[in-house]
A and B are shown apart, each in its own frame.
Chain A
Amino acid sequence: MGTVSTVLSPPALRTGMALAGAGFRRWATYRQAMLAGAFTNTVFGFLRTSVMLAVAAGAGGVAAGYRGPQLATYVWVGQGLLAVVQLWGWTELSDRVRTGDVQSDLLRPVHPVLSYLAADLGRAAFALCSRFVLPMVVGLIAFDLYLPHRPATYPLFLLSMLFATVVSFGVRYLVNLTAFWLLDIRGVIMAWLLCSNALTGMYFPIAFLPGWAQAVLWYATPFPSILQAPVDVVVERGTAGHQATVLAVQGCWAAVMLAAAVVVQRRAERRLVVQGG
């Protein structure tokens, strides 16, 4: 309890905001890379939408409970969210462990998990303004997308994206922490990429799987909370109660992943060997 109140104290929040702002500005530096990424996401959006609409048509207009416009929205929101939750390729922490630069992180009076989380939220905010918006605008112009009917869905979607980013951060942070033991984490990264593509709802909606597999994925793994959850919230799959359940599951996974990151960080620091002298 004391730790939570310390983290949420006004000075700590100001520090967090400053770190998040730095994360935003840091990523805003590379505008051409942002445009290239948004372009690629948009191209793949067209390809994936064509496949999904064909699936819906083949299933008589409704596939696993999604109508055509909902599936198109699933694709375009997913393409935009890829960068927001940074589904692929974050090895900054493991690189710093490998080079020994991680000691600079440990010399600051801010817990490394909070410091990296704040910077990641800043990065996600920039991605939301750029990498999410650009493909969504193209998708809205080119396809008949499903727009939420319930006004409450819009703030719930924002909350769901926040949870998704935190869950994704937690998983990525844990993957990177393995560098304290392994140094070379390419194998772990490969496993994460496999899971992040197949189990988050990136390749296909989780609802396409058998019921038991869906239950296992939603409740026993954090993966659907990273991508499928915000998509299901925004396409209003099921009732408002279902939306609340999805958000509750995401919230739980966000808390679990952050707690796990803090615990593993503590163990990792005990076995720290600063590389490179």
Chain B
Amino acid sequence: MPLIETTGLRKEFTVRRKAGRFRRRRHAVAAVDGIDLAVERGEMLGYIGPNGAGKSTTLKMLTGVLSPSGGEARVCGLRPVAQRTRLARRIGVVFGQRSQLWWDLPLRESFRLLRYVYRVPSAEHAARLAECRRLLDLDEFLDTPVRQLSLGQRMRGEITAALLHGPEVLFLDEPTIGLDVVSKQAVRSFLADLGAAGDTTLVLTTHDLADIEKLCRRLVVIDHGRVVHDGSLAELHARYDSRRRVVVDLDAPWDGTPVPAGATVETVAADGFRVTFGLAGGTAGDLVAALAGTGSLRDVSVLEPDIEEVVARLYAEPA
């Protein structure tokens, strides 16, 4: 049985629009428009979409914060809104732009308080905290009030706070937003280890597609409240005919030398000294061997398919 299951999940918001000098008309806007989703225990799911697609709204319905306008949702076998308090003990939530820590208290105090709030046995709490302290390097700012932490430090604190009660599912809503490269890597590496352990199901929404590439085997893309892709990253590349690219620098301008089947010239730049080939079939080795025969090959680089480009094409499709 899936750990997270939704059927026709919908959320409508009522907005008022001007319809005259003094009149306002109410309109129902569907933020989430019939999402069917099944997530198995231990999965690492990337849940992405453009701004306003309904990602955060879905997460809020799955965590019991928002009541759905229609459809069904089950998380850990519980109905999120009706059984929110019970569900809260079994899930962890990290919102990149919000804090669940106590602003005026040191991080250590927040963690201690969460032990009582979630009623976690002392030994379990201590063991999990020790693990997070080691993996997320918390010790240097454990006694600093939350209001004085940098964004990267706070986010490491937020992730720890969400894990101290041993949740079955961890929802992460843009956990790397605004972080510097080092903090992003620390957070990604920690989440990758957590997911690899297999005890915690991860649902990650983000606009940083590097998060998805590094963490998620399965990708659900939504747009205008509907699922437009549900599958692996490789399937997404296949769907959009993503190609690896080979960029070659030449000693002489490109003269149109015949190239192996499957390779096509995409761009010719730098007065013909730099050529970019797309590979729809064949290997980069075949192409390089063919070019080496001309005697003008100076340098070669191979570029993997660009996820950002694929997702941009997906978002640009009419819903």
Identify the A interface with B (CB < 8 A).
11, 14-15, 17-19, 22, 25-26, 29-30, 100-101, 103-104, 106-111, 115, 269-270, 272-274, 276-277
When distances are taken between beta carbons in the complex, the residues of chain A under 8 Å from B64 are 106-107
Which one, A18, A101, A273, contacts B116 given CB within 8 A? A18
A273 and B13 within 8 A (CB)? yes
Q: Which residues of B contact A276 (CB under 8 A)?
A: 97
How far is A270 from B86 in the complex, measured between Cα atoms in Å? 18
Most chain B beta-carbon neighbours within 10 Å: one of A25, A108, A270, A273: A108
The answer for the CA separation of A269 and B116 in the assembled complex, in Å, is 24
Min CB gap A13→B, angstroms: 10
Tell yes or no: B99 within 8 A of A by CB.
yes
B277 within 8 A of A: no
Q: Out of B98, B117, B119, B145, which one reaches A103, CB within 8 Å?
A: B98
Q: Does B85 contact A (CB under 8 A)?
A: yes
Question: Once the chains are docked, how many angstroms separate the CA of A107 from the CA of B88?
Answer: 6
Report the separation of the CA atoms of residues A22 and B107 in the bound assembly, to the nearest whole angstrom.
Answer: 12
Question: B117 near A104 (CB under 8 angstroms)?
Answer: no
- B113 and A18 form a contact (CB under 8 A): yes
B105 lies within 8 A of A22 (CB): yes
A272: contacting residue among B63, B66, B99, CB under 8 A: B66
Q: Which of A18, A107, A269 lies in contact with B63, CB distance below 8 A?
A: A107
Chain B residues, Cβ within 8 Å of A108: 88, 100, 117
Query: What is the CA–CA distance of A14 and B121 in the complex, to the nearest angstrom?
Result: 13
Question: A130 to chain B: closest CB distance in Å?
Answer: 16
Contacts of A274 in B (CB 8 A): 56, 60, 65-66
- B89 on the interface (CB 8 Å rule)? yes
Docked pose: A25 CA to B146 CA in angstroms: 14
B contact residues around A26 at 8 Å (CB):
102, 104-105
Chain B interfacial positions (CB closer than 8 Å to A) = 13, 56, 60, 63-67, 84-86, 88-89, 93, 95, 97-100, 102, 104-105, 109, 112-113, 115-119, 145
Q: Which residue of B lies closest to A15 (CB)?
A: B116
- Asked, given contacts A110-B117, A274-B66, whether A25 binds B109 with beta carbons under 8 Å apart, the answer is yes
Residues of the A chain whose Cβ atoms lie less than 8 Å from the Cβ of B113: 18-19, 22
Residue of A nearest to B14 (CB): A273
Complex CA gap A104/B146 in Å reads 15
Chain A residues with CB under 8 Å of B102's CB are 22, 26
A19-B113, A109-B85 in contact; A104/B104 too (CB < 8 A)?
no
Which residues of the partner chain A approach B66 to less than 8 Å between Cβ atoms? 272, 274
> A18, A29, A30, A100: which contacts B98 (Cβ < 8 A)?
A100
Known contacts A14-B116, A25-B105; decide if A109 and B89 are in contact (CB<8 Å).
yes
A154 to chain B minimum Cβ distance, whole angstroms, is 31
In the bound assembly, the distance between CA atoms of A59 and B8 in angstroms comes to 75
CB within 8 Å for A272 and B65 given contacts A29-B145, A100-B98, A277-B56 = yes
Q: A15-B119, A26-B105 are in contact. Are A111 and B85 (CB under 8 A)?
A: yes
Contact B117 A18 (CB under 8 A): yes
Residue of B nearest to A14 (CB): B116
Q: What residue of chain B has the Cβ atom nearest to residue A109's Cβ?
A: B88
A14 to B115, CA, bound (A): 10
Query: Do A107 and B116 have beta carbons less than 8 Å apart?
Result: no
Known contacts A11-B119, A273-B13, A104 near B97 by CB under 8 Å: no
CB B307 to nearest CB in A, in angstroms, measures: 23
Contacts of B99 in A (CB 8 A): 101, 104
Residue of B66, B67, B99, B118 with most chain A CB atoms under a 10 A cut-off: B66
Q: What chain B residues lie within 8 Å of A30 (beta carbons)?
A: 104
Are the C-beta atoms of B116 and A19 separated by less than 8 Å?
yes
Residue pairs across A and B with Cβ atoms less than 8 A apart, 21 shown, are A11-B119, A18-B115, A18-B116, A18-B117, A19-B113, A26-B102, A30-B104, A103-B60, A104-B95, A104-B100, A107-B65, A107-B88, A108-B100, A109-B86, A109-B88, A115-B117, A270-B67, A274-B60, A274-B66, A276-B97, A277-B97
